[in-house]
Structure 1
Amino acid sequence: MTRRWHSPSWFAWLLLAAGLALFLNLARWQLGRAAEKEQLLASFAAAAASATVDLADLPADLAAETYPHVRVRGRYVAERSYLLDEQTREGRVGRMAIAVFEPAGGSGRLLVNRGWFEARPGMTPAPLPPLPDGETVLTGIYAPPPGGGLRVGGNALAQQTTWPKLTLFLDLDAIRADLGGAAVHPRLLLLDPDAASGLVRAWTPAVMPPAKHRGYAFQWFSFALAAIVIFVVLHWRKENKEQNP
């Protein structure tokens, strides 16, 4: 019994070419995403150590991968704040304290992430540190709002009458309506770390890590290799040689 190469049909060649094109393009896309995430994480890590710029001086078309380190002068809006629920840190469940800030100059309300605190189910969290009265200067990273839980059940903010209001995600349109239609900045201010704040301020972008993208790329490369192996096996068939008497 020997093996002999059987010429594949045009359909088999077409199917192989389409499969390889799909798998290799998906692998290349995942590698590109990994590179983008590395650049984003590097930009985010460098932001905290960079010089501060005035929030009012930022361009309106700020690039998505840019995380400027800003300063802003203004006042906190009294009795208006939110708690972003179900936020985990090192395996512990907690909440983010989100305050509302009014920058000087009337550029619109700015959401300020004061930091994380532990809040397990059935646990009574300690009272949040009071906000400063009067005009103050804040510094921190100007970053897009984080994601959150499943957006089911409609707008939970409108159903609450006491502050701070609890939410699973930060919907800027819903918050704008909740604040009486006042303009709201498209990003949040992640306050610089302060040991006296009583809150955890260890900021990282909520994105898929580069290593995971590379893992997906390896899977797509593996599928491409498997397609080639299957193609060869199907067309390199065994044959029985007839024996002469």
Structure 2
Amino acid sequence: MTRNLPIIPTIIVVLAALTMVALGFWQLGRADEKEAMLARYATAGDLPESVAYPLTPEQTEQDLYRRSSITCERVLDRRATAGTSEAGVKGWAQIARCALKGGGETEVALGWTRAPDGPQWTGGTVTGIIAPGPKLVADPPRAGLIALSPPDPADLPNNHMAYAGQWFFFAITALVIYFFALRRRRRDQDADELDRDDDED
């Protein structure tokens, strides 16, 4: 199999496979980090103290699922999206985009309605739970709405183990394909040599 082994293609395939394996191990490390983060999020709701509402991605990752509060100085936009009430009934989550006191913007999930039409809420102080986005899920709900199902860290997927498996699979697949390509190349070379020998005879 090593006779007339193509050097450059072999180096390229081996380096590619090693890169895929390295990415797989990196994803395994990320899986451990994500598992620790999810465990921290699972206990965040039990902490009694409120935190300042996060305005950066780093602060958001640190404070997800903690209690917080904002002052909505001005409602910039309103929308309704699919949502579930605290009682588990499917319907609509009423979302307001707010200009915050002190600067910045965020979304506030005011509460739940059965129909998409929502209240004409004009702003004010809201307390609740920091959810991915980020957005603040009001608790208690505002504008006379029904409470939404609280954000649950169990809804966050930990896909890194699957990604690691994919990278390892890609590495093995690349090596297997290259092995069969080399074997076919060897058979073609042997066939060519037999043809030349028959011509010489």
Common fold by TM > 0.5: yes
Q: 1:48 touches 1:192 (CA, 8 Å); kept in 2? A: no
Task: Give the alignment partner of residue 114 of structure 1, picking from 100, 110, 116.
Answer: 110
- Specify which structure has the higher proportion of helix: 2
Q: 2:130 touches 2:137 (CA, 8 Å); kept in 1? A: yes
Instruction: State the one-letter code of the partner of 1:34.
Output: A
Larger Rg: 2
Deviation of the 1:203 alpha carbon: 1.0
Please tell me whether residue 233 in structure 1 is matched to residue 180 in structure 2.
yes
Matches within 5 A, 1:74-113: 82-85=78-81, 87=82, 94-99=91-96, 106-108=101-103, 111-113=107-109
- TM-score, normalising length from structure 1? 0.52
Matches within 5 A, 1:31-110: 31-55=28-52, 62-67=58-63, 69-72=66-69, 82-85=78-81, 87=82, 94-99=91-96, 106-108=101-103
Q: 2:112 touches 2:146 (CA, 8 Å); kept in 1? A: no
CA RMSD of aligned residues (A): 4.4
Q: 1:43 touches 1:66 (CA, 8 Å); kept in 2? A: no
Task: Give the alignment partner of residue 130 of structure 2, picking from 142, 149, 153.
Answer: 142
Deviation of the 1:94 alpha carbon: 4.6
Indicate the percent of aligned positions where both proteins have the same amino acid: 26
Unaligned runs of at least 5 residues, structure 2: 195-201
Secondary structure at the counterpart of residue 161 of structure 2: helix
Q: 2:17 touches 2:171 (CA, 8 Å); kept in 1? A: yes
Secondary structure at the counterpart of residue 109 of structure 2: strand
Instruction: State the one-letter code of the partner of 2:59.
Output: A
For 2:50 and 2:138, locate their aligned partners in 1 and report how far apart those are by CA, in whole Å.
14
Q: 2:78 touches 2:96 (CA, 8 Å); kept in 1? A: yes
Give the corresponding residue for 1:149: none
Distance 1:111 1:9, change over 3 A: closer
Secondary structure at the counterpart of residue 43 of structure 1: helix
Give the corresponding residue for 1:188: 135
For 2:60 and 2:22, locate their aligned partners in 1 and report how far apart those are by CA, in whole Å.
24
Distance 1:193 1:231, change over 3 A: farther
For 1:117 and 1:202, locate their aligned partners in 2 and report how far apart those are by CA, in whole Å.
15
Deviation of the 1:67 alpha carbon: 1.9
Matched residue pairs, number? 180
Instruction: State the one-letter code of the partner of 1:141.
Output: I
For 1:79 and 1:229, locate their aligned partners in 2 and report how far apart those are by CA, in whole Å.
59
